[in-house]
């Protein structure tokens, strides 16, 4: 049986909640909720120096703090956050998006979702601050413990930043419970992409592969997701629907009704949309990225993300892969937010133990 220290007060970075969609937003909101439900004797505070939407009807032990109260507290990561944590008697800070306080007054845990800011600056041209700051926080041992969503990212982080392996723990994510198969009869067959629109998602190559298939099959391509700043808008053409950001409530029906969910990302830390689609019983066509393969296993079709012809061939074969749907559901059931919360809470305890040495 798992054992945990009791009556802990944890501060969680709520800054990712300032954007309406995206993997880090979902991770932060769902993890905070799962922790509060799984550990009702703890207190969890969502803290940020920016305004963020408050959770609706949250567990009684999931609360929202305030931003800076004084001019000096506007230097949030240096002074403001520490003072707000003191007001809430928070014992540990969890930075859910590459950040922890600059001064290690308390134990901290950082989630390192992936290494995309360092692998190709063109993928995230506005991430220069993250590249500088996060490297210092990691290599300067300012964060006590580091979470990664997959073993693939864990190994890469240890190698790139020369981290102590004992400080880095892989804790998988999960699809939220409301992602379930939904009976639907779409007016026309379609392939679906869900995710933030940015260069590493390989959307241009996906569109090219779909165009090739469309010469033979009358099937649409639906693209859903928030557009990252600087990403070139997708030109309109027949059969291509760009929906923009889509609400959580709409996604299960979109996943369930698709001929296949296509996620040909060049690089991922986890690939949450692929797992969400699998939990909805969708056929998933995705890349051979190590993290995605770790998550999806043999319950998805994997292709070389740089091979447009292979991607087009996989799209063409998707309608005959109905047997993969049950396998996808079974694979997705191996992940749950309760287990993610339990393993995260264990890392909190370890951070407190290590910090106290």
User: For position 52, which CATH number holds?
Assistant: 3.40.50.2000
Cβ pair 22, 276 in contact under 8 A? no
**Pair 205, 281 in one domain:** yes
**Pair 142, 205 in one domain:** no
**Pair 309, 341 in one domain:** no
In-domain check, residue 254: yes
Nearest to 223 by CA among 191, 259, 183, 249: 191
Report how many domains make up the chain: 2
Query: pLDDT digits over 61-104, tens only?
Result: 999 998 999 999 999 999 999 999 999 999 999 999 999 999 99
In-domain check, residue 1: no
Beta bridge partners of 10: 44, 92
In-domain check, residue 136: yes
In 185-306 the beta strands, taken as DSSP E runs, fall at 190-194, 220-224, 240-244, 260-263, 284-287, 301-303
In-domain check, residue 261: yes
Is the whole-model pTM more than 0.75? yes
The helix/strand/coil state of 97 is coil
**Pair 19, 149 in one domain:** yes
Mean per-residue pLDDT of the chain: 93
**Pair 100, 205 in one domain:** no
Query: pLDDT digits over 102-120, tens only?
Result: 999 999 999 999 999 999 8
**Pair 111, 236 in one domain:** no
Domain that holds residue 306: 190-332
């Amino acid at each position: 049986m798992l054992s945990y220290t009791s009556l802990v007060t944890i501060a969680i970075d709520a800054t990712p909640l300032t954007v309406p969609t995206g993997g880090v937003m979902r991770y932060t909101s769902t993890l905070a909720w799962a922790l509060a439900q799984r550990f009702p004797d703890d207190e969890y505070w969502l803290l940020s120096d920016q305004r963020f939407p408050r959770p609706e009807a949250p567990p009684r032990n999931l609360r929202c703090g305030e931003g800076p109260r004084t001019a000096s507290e506007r230097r949030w990561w240096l002074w403001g956050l520490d003072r707000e944590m003191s007001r809430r008697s928070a014992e540990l800070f969890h930075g859910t998006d590459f950040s922890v306080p600059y001064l290690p007054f308390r134990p901290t845990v950082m989630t390192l979702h992936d290494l995309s800011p360092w692998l190709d600056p063109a993928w995230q041209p506005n991430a220069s601050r993250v590249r500088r700051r996060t490297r210092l926080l990691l290599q300067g041992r300012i964060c006590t413990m580091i979470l990664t969503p997959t073993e693939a990212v864990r190994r890469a982080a240890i190698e790139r930043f020369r981290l102590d392996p004992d400080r880095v723990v892989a804790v998988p994510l999960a699809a939220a419970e409301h992602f379930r198969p939904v009976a639907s009869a779409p007016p026309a067959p379609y392939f679906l992409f869900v995710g933030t629109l940015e260069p590493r998602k390989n959307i241009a190559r996906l569109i090219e592969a779909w165009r090739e298939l469309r010469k033979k099959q009358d099937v649409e391509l639906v693209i859903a997701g928030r557009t990252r700043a600087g990403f070139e808008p997708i030109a309109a053409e027949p059969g291509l629907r760009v929906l923009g950001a889509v609400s959580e409530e709409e996604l299960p029906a979109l996943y369930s009704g698709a001929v296949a969910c296509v996620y040909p990302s060049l690089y991922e830390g986890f690939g949450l949309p692929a797992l969400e689609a699998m939990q909805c019983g969708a056929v998933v066509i995705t890349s051979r990225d190590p993290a995605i393969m770790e998550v999806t296993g043999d319950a998805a079709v994997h292709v070389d993300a740089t091979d447009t012809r292979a991607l087009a061939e996989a799209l063409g074969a998707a309608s005959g892969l109905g047997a993969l749907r049950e396998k996808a559901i079974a694979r997705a059931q191996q992940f749950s937010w309760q287990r993610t919360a339990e393993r995260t809470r264990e890392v909190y305890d370890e951070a407190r133990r290590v910090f106290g040495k």
